[in-house]
Structure 1
Amino acid sequence: MIDVQAIGPDDWKAWRELRLAALEEAPFAFGSQLADWIDAPEERWRERLSVPGAYQVIVSLDGTPAGMAGGFPGADDTAELVSMWVAPAGRGKGVGNALMTAIEDWARGIGAGTLKLSVVPGNDPAHNLYLRHGYVDTDEPGDLMPDGVRRELVMAKPL
């Protein structure tokens, strides 16, 4: 069974566990590095989950946390999906779809007309998930990755 749970600052330990697992398992996929967060104090984790207007979710599969994602309000009528990750045990089992649906529903609920996200070129499973959900590649330059060379690929979907 898939369960989607909205979380806040008091859920920082669960978020921390998933975020550190994501940064360890897929370091190529995130702008942050494990070393940036591994020794972060509780206050930093709580702050990350306290951004005004943001929406954070954890998805559990049969009672075990299996994925996470966040949504942040953007400029004008946009919102942004960030920090999405599905644990290896949750891949191919609907966890990614549940995360996408939760963030898209939240974005519509705040009146966003477009939801944007960034994905690392070469992360084909994530890119394909986003394409299946109706996202298209944009011409916007994404942020630089930690290597200082590669840029994220920006995608968007009208809501």
Structure 2
Amino acid sequence: MTVTLVTLSSDDWRVWRSLRLAALAEAPEAFGSRLADWVGADEGRWRERLSIPGAMDVVALDSGTGSPIGMVTGTPSARPGAGAELISLWVDPAARRRGVATLLIDGVATWAAAAGAPRLELSVMAQNESARRTYERNGFAVAASSGDELTMTRGL
């Protein structure tokens, strides 16, 4: 499978909506948001989600079919000097174990490094071992634990 990464704008809200709703339905325990919070969201809310100041929203497309198969967002950290954050990573189950997550993570890491971020940070549920292993394979290490959530970081 050949994968193409595409950076989205708020005009691409329909693509993001389809992936985000699929992600929340397929892996509800992996996200802070819930499907019920987003399933009835109007166009304005979806556009707003794709308009986080300084953020980059990316989808992975199967180049053969043009179908979206994954998503991720990179955001500037809310904490000054902390770097950048990787949020909302999800890959369609049919496309897993094919390097799609790594491509998405690398896309955000490249964006963050170009923006001058010293490191990339993310949060993951401690019980989500598959996601933790994916992040560890991609250079992340646990930096802190807060209840059921782990903070992982990767230098850039």
Give the TM bin, normalised by the shorter chain: over 0.9
| 1:69 pairs with 2:72 | yes
Regions of 4+ moved over 3 Å: none
Q: Which residue of 2 aligns with 1:83?
A: 88
Deviations 1:119-158 (A, max 9, x none): 11121111111101111101253xxxxxxxx532110011
Q: How does 1:7-156 map to 2 (within 5 A)?
A: 7-61=8-62, 62=64, 63-74=66-77, 75-141=80-146, 151-156=148-153
- In structure 1, the gaps of 5 or more residues are 142-149
Separation in 1, partners of 2:4, 2:118: 26
Letter in 2 for 1:33: R
Identity of aligned residues (%): 46
Q: TM-score, normalised by structure 2?
A: 0.93
Letter in 2 for 1:80: E
Aligned residue pairs: how many?
151
**Equivalent residues of 1:2, 1:59 under 8 A apart:** yes
- In structure 2, the gaps of 5 or more residues are none
Separation in 1, partners of 2:73, 2:5: 12
Letter in 1 for 2:90: W
Q: Give secondary structure in 2 for the equivalent of 1:127.
A: helix
